[in-house]
A and B are shown apart, each in its own frame.
Chain A
Amino acid sequence: MIWIVFAAMTAAVLGALLWPVVRTKPAESVAERAAYDQAVFRDQLAELDRDVARGTIGQAEADAARNEISRRLIAAAQEPGRRRVSGLAWAAIAATLIVPAVALPLYLKAGNPQLADVPHAWRMENAEKNGDMEALIAKVEQHLQTNSDDLQGWQILAPAYRRAMRWDDAVEAYRNIVRLSPPDAANISDYAEAKVMANQGMVPAPVHELFRQALAIDPKLPKARFYDALALKQEGKTDEAKAAFDAFLKDTPADAAWRPMLLAEMQDMSAKPPALDQQTMANASSMSADDQQAMIRSMVDGLDQKLAANPDNLDGWLRLIRARSVLGDTDKAKAAYKKALEQFNGNQDALAQISALGKEMSIE
């Protein structure tokens, strides 16, 4: 369809370019160059006469000027006329073909004939008809700008934002849902979850509190239970986290959608103790030497406690022994060494590693 328009445009252009060739005037009908020059010079003479009549030019000056202009006029009259031809029809036709020859390949390369216009207003009007998610969101957004208390609007937006992974917008939408509806465990935990997502998967204390609120209303709500356990894990309360996860797993049907995720989190739990996060490292590097020592000691103490509660962790024991020795707490290092040997009694591989480290640290 659009190609018909293009063809018509091209045809009109070619027609207009060929018009002078078709309607060619005989060469003789075109005035000679000299005639144009003479027209100007005659006008200059007339102008000079008017200036003289006005008295705005001196007589001597006027005479000199008249002389000059007259000489130009005579020179123009003596100029030989140029030979003219009426034009070659075939050459002109060939020349006009330059236009499509240049335009068509260029347009094929640069143009998008298959694309339609998408005016903003039209798109908004037809959003429902076209199932245009983006436009629908924009429409509801527009509506909510003036009616920010419309619960239904927020209920449409919130999951749309979640699908589009616009987490900050989702937080805002769920916040409004919570604000506008009676207390509801599902709403609160959706709101809290959006906050977790906007926070790169971390559950800060205030958000954890939200999940607790949800659980107070509905203790069996799966989403709240999961994030509650996750928060406990992230807070380093490993036992409580483990207990919460275990309890949740027991209530989880075998075909629940969240089961794999839950298992993955639990698997991850029983692995290493959490490493130092970057913030702690950064804090440590800006501390005084004494403070640093104190911080490291408190961390090592923490590790000791964790191993006491959860002793089946060879890596943890090795790190504890090494840390105690390096810090110069030889007694505590020896105690840890002993406990580790007891713990892994019967595991030759582990015992070999522990005694090797004991030799290295000379605490045997």
Chain B
Amino acid sequence: MISVSEIGHFALILALGVALFQFVVPLWGAQRGDVAAMRSGISAAVLQLILIAIAFGALMHAYIVSDFSVLNVVENSHSAKPLLYKISGVWGNHEGSMLLWVLILALYGAAVALFGQNLPLELRARVLAIQGSIGLAFLLFIVLTSNPFTRVDPPPIEGNGLNPILQDPALAFHPPFLYSGYVGLSIAFAFAVAALIEGRVDAAWARWVRPWTLVAWMFLTVGIAMGSWWSYYELGWGGYWFWDPVENASLMPWLVATALIHSAVVVEKRNALKIWTVLLSILAFSLSLVGTFLVRSGVLTSVHAFAVDPQRGAFILMILCVFIGGSLSLFAWRAPQLKAGGLFAPVSREGSLVLNNLLLCVASLAVFVGTLYPLALETLTGDKISVGPPYFDLTFGPIILPLLLLVPLGAFLAWKRGDAGLAVRRLWLALVLALLVGVIVFALNVRGPWLAPVGMAVAAWLVFGAIADVAAKVALFKVPLATSWHRLVGLPRSAIGTAVAHAGVGILVAGVIAISLWRVEVIVALKPGESTPVGKYAVTFQGEGPLTGPNYSGRVGTFLLKEGDRELATLHSEKRIFRPSGMPTTEVGLYQTWHGDVYVVMGDETTGGARAMRMYYNPFVNFIWLGAAVMFAGGLLSISDRRYRVGAPKRAASLQAVPAE
């Protein structure tokens, strides 16, 4: 019988060979102007995807049929696991997640190869070559130190099972999205390095690189939001963001990628900020590399975990040094040769975007310091310190606040030389509405924290500013409504996308401010039949019973949720004990409304037959994820803009090349 796993293993190793080819041959071809060599990079990129997909499929097959002759399956799966978690178990571990990483890398590479006809052949070849070099490094890492196809002979009869906390639908799909974001930034990186090799960055380059950056940013946004949603309802701590190093590791590249999608606009429109944009492309991917590996190497959970497998640790460090050090050296050498671009006044669209970039990068730096300082300190002195939310509230908050105030203004400034007064005048209605929201919140919340009205006013400012942006573009109420509608349909999708994404930020800010100010937290011990008020609700603990699942058992508590005399819902919170590990998890009882969630967690038994309960009313918490979804939708609108579908010129001889629209 032919072994699927061995075919997968062989395909993975063939992909390594193809990656080497993809790195060397197109680069050399672009240098010589060798058309065949450059074009072979396209074949290589597609082959790379096919081969890694075969390997990934083979590993997934081993998981689905519970082939315990594969060590990775033994360590992370169990024959009694539900199918969904057998599949998600493929990337719920170190080796498998690295394989997913290179699969997504290959997917992006193949996408550039297949859909990049609008790119000059030299540029496409060089971009694919840089992609190939990244693939080569990671495939070597996988094959030499983290091989998912290591076999066991004779095989054990059962596996150890997937970490129960990962057996959750949101977490099953969180890593693929997050990785699509991380790895998507590799395309921006490859474009930047290719541009440095060619010695040219211009408006056309920016136009080509922008959609890829935008796609990566969108996936990163959704990935982070899914992770936050998962930690909200699975960990049972009632929070949505903990400034945990693993979360920060994904936030840093997101901040820099956000800066990048904005600075690339300046390059495309004004041919300015070119060097800066190249640097941001390098930094964004470097941070996603650092993020991936801080998480994957286990450095974050403990400095000492890094040393557990010195071979892996050293390899990771080497990859980081080669790619970050190499690209920055190339940048230092080549960047001075890039021609400077257009000039602009401080008060202008460009100026506001520069400020946007500075604030985002400083915010990212603040997160970087807060994440890595404790690590460095522990390595150097052995002291363990914890940098928690107070640090981030004090640094991240004040940096981001001016940025949020600036967002609606920037959108109203003209390119090259803007008029701040004019922009404010055109935004007066949004400003008044935002202040009004602030005043209302202040009135409702007299004894509350001072931040409440300010924060809510900022959120409203963002949303109304975005609406004003679109309203101005369609001349709302200045022309008949039908004309406005007609103009809206005719607007470039990217203009609408920008406004939508900015409104999403406002929605998210509203959620964050609301939950940090008005959350109700109740920690209480209840016996069956007893009630406790949670905000305006009353929760009655009705009792608990046994619980049996496919690979777990435990207790389920039943709660009756009432508002006044009205029964709203019956909630269930579970404590599960998973086989075979015996690890406990909690399932939260959640009652969701548009204005907030009631969140019930059944805790441990206390003396006297009572159970410790934690209950929250989280006002507007879903605005956080709604905001992220709206930001994603904004990205989607932008990416569908027709400017990204400029066709390829047909032949060299023809100077009448016409963009296909």
**Residues of A participating in the B interface, judged by any CB pair closer than 8 Å:** 1-2, 5-6, 9-10, 13, 16-21, 24-25, 27-33, 35-44, 46-47, 50-51, 54-56, 58, 61, 64-65, 68-69, 72, 77, 81-88, 91-92, 95-96, 98-103, 106-107, 110-113, 115-123, 134-135, 137-138
Contacts and interface: CB of A to CB of B under 8 A. Distances in A.
B657 A107 contact: no
Chain B: interface size category: 35 or more
A13 B51 contact: yes
A31 B158 CA distance: 59
Interface in B48-92: 51, 62, 65-69, 79
B18 interface: yes
Contact of A72 (B37, B271, B415): B271
A9 B10 contact: yes
B652 A28 contact: yes
Contacts of A88: 34, 36
Contact of A116 (B1, B121, B156): B1
5 contacts: A16-B43, A31-B651, A84-B33, A84-B34, A86-B34
Contacts of B203: 40-41, 44, 69, 72
Interface string B1-13: 1111111011101
B25 A39 contact: no
Contacts of B648: 31, 36, 39
A27 B79 CA distance: 57
A292 B77 CA distance: 55
B653 interface: yes
B129 interface: no
Contacts of B25: 92, 95
A2 B652 contact: no
Interface of B: 1-7, 9-11, 13-14, 16-18, 20-21, 24-25, 29, 32-37, 39-40, 42-44, 46-47, 51, 62, 65-69, 79, 118-123, 143, 147, 149, 151, 153, 155-158, 202-204, 207-208, 269-271, 342, 414-416, 473, 475, 487, 490-492, 495, 643, 646-655, 657-659, 661
Q: Nearest 9 A-B pairs (CB), nearest first?
A: A87-B36, A120-B66, A99-B17, A119-B65, A35-B649, A20-B39, A40-B204, A102-B17, A103-B17
B21 A99 contact: yes
Contacts of B649: 31, 35-36, 38-39
Contact of B16 (A64, A103, A135, A137): A103
A115 to B, nearest CB: 5
Contact of B37 (A47, A50, A92): A92
Given A2-B2, A54-B487, A61-B416, A30 B40 contact: no
A157 to B, nearest CB: 14
A41 B268 CA distance: 10
Contacts of A134: 156-157
B143 A106 contact: yes
A273 B6 CA distance: 62
Nearest to B653: A28
Given A28-B653, A99-B21, A117 B11 contact: no
Given A37-B204, A58-B414, A117-B3, A17 B21 contact: yes
Contact of A121 (B24, B32, B66, B270): B66
Given A40-B646, A72-B271, A111 B9 contact: yes
A84 B35 contact: yes
A117 B9 CA distance: 12
Nearest to A89: B36
Contact of A96 (B21, B32, B39, B118): B21
A56 B494 CA distance: 13
Nearest to B14: A103
Contacts of B6: 2, 111-113, 115
Nearest to A106: B13
A56 B495 contact: yes
Contacts of B147: 110
Nearest to B490: A54
B17 A100 contact: yes
B7 A95 contact: no
A85 B652 contact: no
A143 B204 CA distance: 68
Contacts of B651: 29, 31
Given A98-B20, A102-B17, 16 more contacts: A5-B2, A10-B14, A27-B35, A29-B651, A36-B119, A46-B659, A56-B495, A72-B202, A87-B34, A95-B37, A102-B20, A110-B143, A120-B65, A120-B157, A121-B66, A134-B156
A59 B40 CA distance: 47
Given A2-B7, A72-B271, A119-B67, A36 B42 contact: no
A107 B12 CA distance: 9
Contacts of B79: 120
Contact of A65 (B153, B157, B415): B415
A32 B120 CA distance: 7
Contacts of A56: 473, 491, 495
A21 B646 contact: no
Contacts of B47: 13, 16-17
A19 to B, nearest CB: 6
B475 A33 contact: no
A98 B204 contact: no
Contacts of A51: 492
Contact of B67 (A54, A86, A99, A120): A120
Contact of B491 (A40, A54, A137): A54
B157 A39 contact: no
A44 to B, nearest CB: 7
Nearest to A42: B659
Chain A CB count within 10 A is highest, among B5, B120, B122, B208, for: B120
Contact of A61 (B62, B415, B647, B658): B415
Contact of A87 (B3, B29, B647): B29
A40 to B, nearest CB: 4
B652 A107 contact: no
A47 B491 CA distance: 11
Contact of A117 (B67, B122, B473): B67
Contact of A112 (B33, B153, B646): B153
Contacts of A91: 37
B416 A118 contact: no
Nearest to B647: A39
A103 B207 CA distance: 38
B13 A38 contact: no
B62 A39 contact: no
A351 B654 CA distance: 123
A18 B18 CA distance: 12
B548 to A, nearest CB: 12
Contacts of B46: 16
A254 B161 CA distance: 52
A20 B2 contact: no
Chain A CB count within 10 A is highest, among B1, B123, B155, B659, for: B659
Given A72-B202, A116-B3, A25 B35 contact: yes
Nearest to B269: A65
A88 B653 CA distance: 24
A98 B21 contact: yes
Nearest to A37: B204
Nearest to B79: A120
Contact of A19 (B43, B121, B646, B657): B43
A28 B653 CA distance: 8
Contacts of A18: 40
A58 to B, nearest CB: 6
A211 to B, nearest CB: 34
A58 B118 CA distance: 31
A322 B526 CA distance: 65
Nearest to A87: B36
Contacts of B2: 1-2, 5
Contacts of B121: 30-31
Contacts of B661: 43, 46
Contacts of A113: 3, 6
A28 to B, nearest CB: 6
B65 A112 contact: no
Nearest to B158: A138
